[in-house]
Structure 1
Amino acid sequence: MIFIGSAAFDIIRILTLGLPREIRKQKTEEYLEYYHKTLSDFFQGSAPFSLDQLHNQYSLIYPFASNFTLFGISLYIKMYSDGTLGKKESKEENRKELVDRARGIVEDIEASKDH
């Protein structure tokens, strides 16, 4: 899928789909800082946006961007359930992990309404 927009959109999709909930919560700040530093280095020390702007974009579009992850998680759960993906003996463990990631996303969206 090609999408022109905020870099935070891609970061959100990568972190929410690629990491277990607790690791994502622990490491998000570190990954945002690393991304911004790497981008700054690429642009000779001057990224096209500040770290604060990246944080603001991340917070602003998290509910929208996470919906794409929730859709992806539902597909992965189906693939684990029907045996298309993964080992049979790991099926239930993988499904539980994906449901936990989805739960974490929903909890984060609900918590963001309070801020």
Structure 2
Amino acid sequence: MKNSVEMMIAALLLGATATSAVAFQSGRDPAYQNARASGLVGEKSDGYLGFVVSPSPAIRALVEDINIKRKAAYSKEALANGATVEEMALRSGCRLIGERTVAGEKYQTPSGQWKTRDASTPELDPRCPQ
């Protein structure tokens, strides 16, 4: 019973965190949308955006700004839920890769390799909630 309660709490935390992080993606900046669609940036398993290729200064600034906002959201969720920022970021990364990336977008595997999302299930960090 304890395990099922823990699973339910983890699912609720994951949903709340991903919702907060994804809020930053709604109304995406066209430059960010283009960089993501072009495979210049992608989702990392740690909940942050990463550079697939060396970015221009404008793309670097854009991604760093998004990552700062994500960290603020993860920090707020961690404080509210008695978790660490890293735990909240990882949970969000699992959801962002598993549910929010679409075919053609890049994501980073747990081994650090960049892959292009296709119709198959992406490789997620083994610590991701099932």
Q: Which bin holds the TM-score, normalised by the shorter protein? A: 0.3 to 0.5
Q: Given the two structures, how large is their TM-score scaled by the length of structure 1? A: 0.35
Larger strand proportion, structure 1 or 2? 2
- The higher relative CO (CA closer than 8 Å, separation ≥ 6) is in 1
Q: Given the two structures, how large is their TM-score scaled by the length of structure 2? A: 0.32
Structure ID, larger Rg: 1
Larger helix proportion, structure 1 or 2? 1
